[in-house]
Amino acid sequence: MHELSVTQGILDIALKNAGERRIKQVNLVIGQFSSIVDDSVQFYWDIISKDTAAEGSALHFERIPGEMSCRSCGHVFRPNGETFTCPSCSSPSVRISRGNEFQVESIDVE
Partner 1 sequence: MSTRIPVVEKILSANDRIADRNRETLDHAGVFGINIMASPGAGKTSFILKTLDALSGRLKLGVIEGDLATSIDAEKAMAAGLPAVQINTGGECHLDAVMLADALPALPLQDLDLVLVENVGNLICPASFLLGTHLNVLIASIPEGDDKPYKYPGMYMGMQTLIINKIDLLPYVPFNLEYFKQGVEALNPGVTTFPVSSKTGEGMDAWADWLVEKVNANRNNGK
Binding site for partner 1 (CB under 8 A): 1-2, 5-6, 9-10, 12-14, 17-18, 21, 24-25, 27-28, 33-35, 66, 68, 79, 81-85, 92-96, 100, 102-110
Q: Taking the complex as a whole, how short is the minimal distance between the CB of residue 19 and partner 1, in angstroms? A: 9
Q: Taking the complex as a whole, how short is the minimal distance between the CB of residue 50 and partner 1, in angstroms? A: 20
The size of the chain, in residues, is 110
- Residue among 66, 61, 69 at smallest CA distance from 81: 66
Nearer to partner 1, 43 or 84 (CB): 84
The answer for residues whose C-beta is within 8 angstroms of residue 21's C-beta and 6 or more apart is 53, 109, 110
Distance CA 89, CA 85 (A): 8
